[in-house]
Amino acid sequence: MIERICGIALEAGAEVMAVYGTDFTVEVKADQSPVTLADIAAEAIILEGLSHLDPGVPVVAEEAVSSGAAPEMAERFFLVDPLDGSKEFVSRNGEFTVNIALVEHGNPVLGVVYAPALGRIWWGEGGKGSFAAKVIDGQIVEARQIKVREARQGLCAVGSRSHGSGEGDARLSRLPISSYVSAGSSLKFCLVAAGEADVYPRLGRTMEWDTAAGDAVLRAAGGRVECLDGRLLSYGKRQQADDADFANPFFIAYGDVRYAQMVDAV
């Protein structure tokens, strides 16, 4: 399944890049996030691909949900963001991704993150590990296994390029963070999964399709994504009293899980 999902992501990424090379227009959705033809076209490709891969499994996809087409939920479903990092796409900095994840019983058990403008792809599956590779001429090459790095002094925290890094927040004061870097989209999870950063705090709103694929890659690489009260970030959240369907609480993604114990639950 993971190979076929990688193939679907590559196909969707090619469509994203076809739009990226044009003078595309940008619309603004009700939640004030941007949407382009690339989002819509890539999502159509992914939905078609998943319908053949695993018929009958519900697919929660960003643009479909935005238009009111959320499926009936099941214990096993796909989460899709056809273009994560729309602001990066619009600003043409290359840091946007195609995200596809499989969720079972609230946990992301498989995920693919493809950054078509960067020619990089990551995937992970519970019990099988996580991998990173280059994409050249539409083919995955030079694949290598990745894992989080062990705890050390002088942590590197990675934060959102468009929404802030969390630098200076009191919740992070117990961690020995010595440097901050910024990255767009779900690339932040991948940096932690590959041992290129140690912690990713997201102290702002996200949706499940933004995080599930990267979360799956990080967990399979040995990391952990916690809500601020210490619970694992879960998926399939509906009828929430304090937020919309599929909205995430604030969270912190850790490479070495021992650092999670150093942050006070709030």
Nearest to 119 by CA among 92, 94, 100, 145: 94
Shared-domain flag, residues 131 and 58: yes
**Helices (DSSP H) in the chain: which residue ranges?**
2-20, 37-53, 62-66, 86-91, 187-193, 208-220
Give the structural domain span for 62: 2-146
Lowest mean pLDDT across 72-76, 97-101, 194-198, 253-257: 72-76
Query: Does the reported pTM lie above 0.85?
Result: yes
Which of the listed ranges 100-114, 160-174, 230-244 does the model predict with the highest average pLDDT? 100-114
Domain end (from 146, 178, 194): 146
Name the one residue in this structure whose structure tokens are 């490709």. Answer: 45
Shared-domain flag, residues 129 and 161: no
Shared-domain flag, residues 173 and 88: no
Shared-domain flag, residues 126 and 228: no
CATH of the domain at 189: 3.40.190.80
Nearest to 39 by CA among 57, 60, 58, 13: 13
Q: What is the pLDDT of residues 5-42, one digit of tens each?
A: 999 999 999 999 999 989 898 888 777 678 889 999 99
Q: What is the pLDDT of residues 126-142, one digit of tens each?
A: 999 999 999 999 999 99
Q: Are 264 and 171 in contact (CB under 8 A)?
A: yes
Shared-domain flag, residues 176 and 197: yes
Shared-domain flag, residues 197 and 231: yes
Q: How would you classify the pairing of strands 76-84 and 59-61? A: parallel
Shared-domain flag, residues 8 and 135: yes
Structure-token pair, residue 154: 């002088």
Cβ neighbors of 191 (< 8 A, separation 6 or more) are 158, 181, 183, 197, 200
Calpha distance 225→240 (Å, rounded): 20
Shared-domain flag, residues 6 and 126: yes
Shared-domain flag, residues 163 and 187: yes
Domain end (from 116, 146, 176): 146
pLDDT of 265 reads: 43
Domain end (from 146, 172, 189): 146
Shared-domain flag, residues 125 and 37: yes
**pLDDT band (50, 70, 90) for residue 78:** very high
Which whole-number Å values give the CA distances from 199 to 67, 108, 138, 252, in the listed order?
34, 19, 31, 7
Shared-domain flag, residues 167 and 88: no
CATH of the domain at 100: 3.30.540.10
Q: How far apart are the first and last CA of the chain?
A: 38
Shared-domain flag, residues 208 and 126: no
